[in-house]
Amino acid sequence: MTTAVARKLDSIREKASLRHIDVAQILGARPETVSRWNQGHAYPHRSTELALLELEYLVDQLSDFYEPNEARQWLFSRQKLLGGESPASLIQNGRIDEVMKLVNQVRDAVFM
């Protein structure tokens, strides 16, 4: 039986090629902890769960115009329009709204 958190992690892996270690890095958790979430042996704290949900939403948006490996590279690459920071580092620092704003701008440009 798959948990809701495990399904979110699967979606993130499929759409952005993010492994548990990547998700752990972005969310500020340990890879072993993310593995336990995936197996249903643990559940993220509320704030971490919210960050996971935001990450899954962001990855879903990226999947509309990036292949999984491209989405992963984009998340970990420094972006000029984010002041030279990577989206992953901004998410780690609670600044996902800035990343979502950029994704929406890219999305609007792609689908015009």
pLDDT of residue 109: 83
CA separation for the pair 8, 29 (Å, rounded)? 16
pLDDT of residue 2: 86
CA separation for the pair 95, 16 (Å, rounded)? 19
Pick the closest to residue 20 from 40, 37, 43 (CA basis).
37
User: What band does 100 get if pLDDT is binned at 50, 70 and 90?
Assistant: very high
pLDDT of residue 112: 58
User: What band does 17 get if pLDDT is binned at 50, 70 and 90?
Assistant: very high
